[in-house]
Chain A
Amino acid sequence: MSDHVWLAVALTALGTFLIRLLPLLWMQRRLARRQGENGVEALPPWLSILGPMMIAAMLGVSLIPASPSATTWLATLVGVIVTLLVWRQLRSLGWPVLGGVASYTAVILLARLFV
């Protein structure tokens, strides 16, 4: 790898870190100026909405299977349903994820047996 590529790695690493860091410093100063307020109240309203929306957008992108086919889409649908059902029962973080992955795997394996 040439020196130029190392420079590109260094600039990308520094730039990525600053993209994550600088908004924190801005927000901490804003919160410090509004010390009397509750943290959530000092948060600009658009920001408290945008957080969950970013998660939703990432969910939308991550739902697309790596190799899309009827089977993997069906597995995704079953995985989503099972994840939500397990969450409804247990209201925990790990078990619904495990249930979703297990059901996704089961559909893929069943499809291999019967299709």
Chain B
Amino acid sequence: MTLSTTSPHNRGWLLGLRDAIPLLSGYIPVAISFGLIAIQSGFTPLQAVLISLLVYAGASQFMFVGLAATGAPLWLVVSMSLLINLRHLVYAPGLAPSLNNSRWWPWMMHGLTDQIFALALNRLPQLEPGQRLSWYSSAAMLAWGSWVVGTAVGALTGDWLMSRWPLVGQVTPFALPALFLVLLAPYATNPRWAISLSLAILTALMMALYGLSNIGIPLAAICGALCFQLIKPRRPQHV
């Protein structure tokens, strides 16, 4: 079966799976690390898997198990974990113009992670409207499934796995910046976008180097957006 001979609905599912595959090399090592850290923090494998299944937000899950392990009060654990996720507020509105009124879309927002947003922002407008829900469902479910399975693997065998193949854990996370780079590359031909995006990248990089990656992401994005507004667009040349 090839992509060109399948129905639009099935084609959407296949395209979604194909597009989300590069995410796995970024998700699985991080999920394994999360499973491992959750066990070391006193959670059982089942509890670690349930956190990945229900919360499904990488950085905030690490924060959650870390704080819970120190015996921090419930309100602090919850509020700090949610604070990290506030950057997700702008994701769904960015995708909304590409979505129809299907009653499934609201439920699908559970899968709207950083990486799925980045992928969907670029891919959804390129797809036929009839393919978009199936594309998003398959991409989001593959990513979610890999996150949950990775957590289980990390919780059950993480120690052994990382000591057996340390290189895999070291190199596969590079798939994530590579994917972001590919998603941004089309903007590079426009100087206004190129300068603003470069500023956002460098700001986030510098803030992360100083241990401020979570607050650094929204702040860097705002810096880039302000820079974009300050740079005047080039007027077309009249001959």
Which A residues form the contact surface with B (CB < 8 A)?
Answer: 1, 4-5, 7-13, 15-17, 19-21, 23-28, 31, 38-40, 42-44, 46-64, 66-67, 72, 75-76, 79-80, 83-84, 87-88, 93-94, 96-98, 100-101, 104-105, 108-109
Contacts and interface: CB of A to CB of B under 8 A. Distances in A.
Contact of A46 (B86, B101, B114, B225): B225
**What is the interface of chain A mostly: helix, strand, loop, or mixed?**
helix
Contact of A59 (B42, B121, B177, B228): B177
A53 B200 contact: yes
Given A57-B224, A59-B204, A64-B205, A39 B217 contact: no
Contacts of B57: 16
B184 A50 contact: no
B66 interface: no
B26 to A, nearest CB: 8
Contacts of B91: 20, 23, 51, 54
B175 interface: yes
Nearest to B33: A66
A49 B201 contact: no
A26 B208 CA distance: 31
24 contacts: A9-B50, A13-B56, A16-B88, A19-B86, A31-B97, A43-B96, A49-B225, A53-B224, A55-B118, A56-B220, A57-B201, A57-B220, A58-B180, A60-B202, A61-B204, A61-B205, A62-B176, A76-B174, A83-B182, A84-B185, A88-B185, A94-B18, A94-B19, A98-B22
B196 interface: yes
A8 B78 contact: yes
Interface string B25-43: 1000000000000000011
Nearest to B87: A54
Contact of A13 (B22, B54, B90, B228): B54
Interface string B193-224: 10011101111111011000100111111101
Contacts of A96: 178, 181-182
A19 B170 contact: no
Contacts, number: 259
Contact of A8 (B56, B68, B99, B121): B68
A53 B221 contact: yes
A27 B93 contact: yes
B77 interface: yes
Pick the most buried of B18, B171, B184: most chain A CB atoms within 10 A of its CB.
B171
Interface of B: 18-19, 21-22, 25, 42-44, 47, 50-51, 54-57, 60, 64, 68, 74, 77-78, 81-82, 85-99, 101, 105-106, 109-110, 112, 114, 117-118, 121, 167, 170-185, 187, 193, 196-198, 200-206, 208-209, 213, 216-222, 224-225, 228-229
Contact of A1 (B43, B112, B219, B222): B43
B15 to A, nearest CB: 10
Contacts of A24: 92-93, 95-96, 99, 105-106, 109
Nearest to B22: A97
Nearest to A68: B209
Contact of B89 (A17, A23, A40, A59): A23
A84 B187 CA distance: 12
A16 B56 contact: yes
A7 B78 CA distance: 9
